[in-house]
Chains A and B, each alone.
Chain A
Amino acid sequence: MRKFTTLIVLTASWLAWSGHYDGLLLSFGAASVLCVFYLLNRIGLAALDPRSAKTFLKMVPYLPWLLREIIKSNIDVAKIIWQPKISIDPAVREIPATQETALGLVTFANSVTLTPGTLSINATPGSLTVHALEAAAFDGEGFSEMDRRVTGLEN
């Protein structure tokens, strides 16, 4: 039943995005929907998990916060790059990750990487290895706040 929902979602998104409704292109659309469905089935993701759908909905209020962090750190890194003499203090550290689902951990790791100046280089359940352009990035509440917010997106 859930697999059927996936097929419907795929078909609906193809129809909404293509804007072409003649026979030839519709058959291409059907073929690509079936292709994607076959691949999803192969990796065992064809049945939509309602928990992931809920997490995606909860991301809507999280994104503006992330956007503000991204803009702030973009300005910091741009300043470093335009310095006449580059002065940086790179560091690698483990930070705790309290997410329970794979999707939550991926969201946290991606958020860290999206924020310029910090880069997740390894992710395991429970902790994230982070490379920072400035060791000062590990001071303060930055990472624990992001971790808390992403964990809040789960369940």
Chain B
Amino acid sequence: MNVLDIISWVLILIGSFACLTAGLGLIRLPDFFCRSHAGGIMDSLGMGCLFAGMALQSSSPLVLVKLFFIYGFVLLTGPAAIHALARAALHAGLKPQLGKSTGGDASTR
């Protein structure tokens, strides 16, 4: 096992952990808008580390360029989708919960 393999596996593990965190956040955070933040972790760190890990495993430069561009498209479209969802929710009359909130999982909403 060479150094590149190890770095690649570490990146893939970090990316997987970030995706797990995003999923947990989607369940645990209290309202729609807060949950959208958790989705952002998946788009940025989760996908980023997974793609970087896969890029280190690839043997041809063409695959590398393709992975790079796919991540570029994810970075462009992910936030646009989240923005569209949040805006639609706002227009439909959903009010964000504001102010401090402490306490256990507010996952019943």
Which residues from chain A sit less than 8 Å from chain B, CB to CB?
16-17, 19, 67, 70-71, 74, 77-78, 80-82, 85-92, 109-110, 113-123, 131, 133
Contacts and interface: CB of A to CB of B under 8 A. Distances in A.
B82 A77 contact: no
Contacts of A110: 75-76, 79-80, 83
> Which of B18, B24, B82 has the most chain A CB atoms inside 10 A of its CB?
B82
A8 B82 CA distance: 33
Interface string B31-60: 101101110110111001000000000000
Contacts of A70: 44-45, 48
A90 to B, nearest CB: 6
B33 A81 contact: no
21 contacts: A17-B66, A74-B44, A81-B28, A82-B21, A85-B104, A86-B30, A87-B100, A87-B102, A88-B29, A89-B101, A90-B98, A109-B83, A113-B40, A114-B79, A115-B40, A116-B40, A119-B86, A121-B86, A121-B90, A122-B87, A133-B37
B93 interface: no
Contacts, number: 121
A153 B17 CA distance: 33
A113 B80 CA distance: 8
Contacts of A80: 25
Nearest to B36: A119
Contacts of A131: 33, 36, 86, 96
> Which of A77, A80, A110 has the most chain B CB atoms inside 10 A of its CB?
A77
Contacts of B76: 110
